[in-house]
Chain A
């Protein structure tokens, strides 16, 4: 069954502890509903983008590691779900609920492929 990334975008100065009880309960309720409907594969909230480490290849073949997010934008992914639904339309229907529960914009992406570990292929 196809899987979808449902990502929540939070402003850079977002403080998770500022979430009010009603919002927290809404998010819990949505999670329960997703589990009950058998669509939730994974869910998680990320810590602030400022805690991120960014890595990029250097021309000399090495890797440059810097503190902070890769893109300097005002909003970053703050948390996400991996949902398994029949199609994009249903993933979007769930994302509608996420917009309300999280009070934040949401992006839905479909997985193009899920790679199989190479060793499994070589065994063959």
Chain B
């Protein structure tokens, strides 16, 4: 890749969201908005290497996109020409578009970006469609990049994005920020998409790569964006806190040979202090907004207990058990119950932990989940029941597809 192509790519990553958001304000269709913005990018790729990078690349792209959007509306007006009323309507629309894009050149169009996020994460879409559209439209990732991150063929991913755009268009999803009761629900959808992206980066579900840092970074960026856009929503701050606190351990999660290192064995001096402080501050914001007992805030508070402990032994496990109890109240799930059981094992001893695990072991949702035998194996080992522990860990190995986790478990058998 040449230098100017690298520059164009970097500029695109920064500008594409605002560009698409500005066009979508008028076209009311984020699929079309994205295509028009892409056209502007293609023109830049043709012209900039020849003529040099313009002094204000953002303004250049916006002008180019505006020209294409106006062409698009004119083409539309040709199809329905002779209908004077419609023509007038289209003239009005064109003027509106021109104004909107001129405005967008001069100001930060937060509201449009927010609308774009809400539309990309609309519940009418399948979850994987929401994730792909968000990465494409708000993070500026190419189809190839998203496909690589999710280990699916580029063609599959392209179809996924195409289908998602089509669904939005067919369902006539309005390009707007939801209000009132709907807002809460829609925010929850946006947050779950962001957290999914983060987790996909943090722990790959399959394959060689233990961590795909870029996805985590994009999720963090989305989280920080959203905090600016929805400052009064406590869970938005809480999710950012949770992600910052998890990500602050990144450097400690991998050993020198790329192997996974568990929380308790991590070199805590490798944790990113500045990021921990940012995470704790965001958690504080969530709590000040009165959301301390909500879903992401409780999880962030649990993460905070780990991050505050200078050594693994100094972890406040009693408090973590209480936080898991609260989490079970508002969002009971077998996974949360399993994590709670681990905390009970740490706070009250392995046999109490094992009893808590066995309470939930029959849950069909945990069948095939490798962490169940893994946790049982760990507790049995601590109780000195080595033969049973060995069997449990072997069972866990056969259940996970992640090579790094298999290595980690195999290590424990030695």
Q: A residues engaging B (CB < 8 A)?
A: 1, 29, 32-33, 35-39, 41, 86-87, 89-90, 92-94, 96-97, 100, 114, 116-117, 120-121, 123-124
Q: Is the CB of B14 within 8 A of A90?
A: yes
Q: In the complex, A121→B271 CA distance in Å?
A: 11
Q: In the complex, A37→B273 CA distance in Å?
A: 22
Residues of B within 8 A of A90 (CB): 10, 13-14
- Given known pairs A1-B220, A116-B273, the reply for A123 and B214 (CB within 8 Å) is no
Q: Is the CB of A89 within 8 A of B9?
A: yes
Q: Is the CB of A124 within 8 A of B10?
A: no
Of B13, B110, B214, B229, most buried by chain A (CB within 10 Å of CB) is: B13
Q: Is the CB of A37 within 8 A of B310?
A: no
Interface residue? B274 (CB, 8 A): yes
Q: Which of B13, B267, B271 contacts A86 (CB 8 A)?
A: B13
Interface residue? B166 (CB, 8 A): no
Of B107, B213, B269, most buried by chain A (CB within 10 Å of CB) is: B269
- Given known pairs A100-B55, A116-B269, A116-B273, the reply for A36 and B229 (CB within 8 Å) is yes
Q: Is the CB of B310 within 8 A of A92?
A: no
Map CB proximity to A onto B325-350 as digits: 1 under 8 Å, 0 otherwise: 00000000000000000000000000
Q: In the complex, A93→B229 CA distance in Å?
A: 23
- Given known pairs A36-B110, A38-B224, A124-B267, the reply for A93 and B273 (CB within 8 Å) is no
**Chain A's nearest CB lies how many Å from the CB of B374?**
26
Q: Is the CB of A38 within 8 A of B267?
A: no
Q: Is the CB of A38 within 8 A of B222?
A: yes
Can you report 10 residue pairs joining A to B where beta carbons are below 8 Å apart? A37-B14, A89-B7, A89-B10, A96-B11, A100-B55, A114-B272, A121-B269, A123-B269, A123-B311, A124-B268
Residues of B within 8 A of A97 (CB): 58
Of A33, A39, A94, A114, most buried by chain B (CB within 10 Å of CB) is: A33
Map CB proximity to A onto B202-239 as digits: 1 under 8 Å, 0 otherwise: 00000000000110010011111100110000000000
- Given known pairs A33-B108, A38-B221, the reply for A120 and B11 (CB within 8 Å) is no
Q: In the complex, A87→B11 CA distance in Å?
A: 12
Residues of B within 8 A of A117 (CB): 273
Q: Is the CB of B228 within 8 A of A36?
A: yes
B245-275 CB contacts (< 8 Å) to partner A = 267-274
Q: What 6 A-B pairs have minimum CB-CB distances, sorted nearest first? A: A38-B224, A89-B10, A38-B221, A93-B10, A121-B269, A90-B10
**Chain A's nearest CB lies how many Å from the CB of B141?**
11
**Chain A's nearest CB lies how many Å from the CB of B240?**
9
Interface residue? B57 (CB, 8 A): yes
**Chain A's nearest CB lies how many Å from the CB of B38?**
18
Q: Which of A96, A114, A124 contacts B269 (CB 8 A)?
A: A124
Q: Which of A1, A89, A114 contacts B217 (CB 8 A)?
A: A1
Nearest residue (CB) in A for B314 is A123
- Given known pairs A1-B220, A86-B214, the reply for A114 and B108 (CB within 8 Å) is no
Q: In the complex, A90→B15 CA distance in Å?
A: 11
**Chain B's nearest CB lies how many Å from the CB of A72?**
32
Q: In the complex, A54→B101 CA distance in Å?
A: 49
Q: Is the CB of B225 within 8 A of A37?
A: yes
Residues of B within 8 A of A114 (CB): 272, 274
Q: In the complex, A96→B14 CA distance in Å?
A: 12
Q: In the complex, A83→B336 CA distance in Å?
A: 36
Residues of B within 8 A of A39 (CB): 221
Q: In the complex, A120→B58 CA distance in Å?
A: 44
Nearest residue (CB) in B for A99 is B55
Q: In the complex, A124→B107 CA distance in Å?
A: 50
Q: In the complex, A36→B231 CA distance in Å?
A: 11
Residues of B within 8 A of A38 (CB): 220-225, 228
Residues of B within 8 A of A89 (CB): 6-7, 9-10
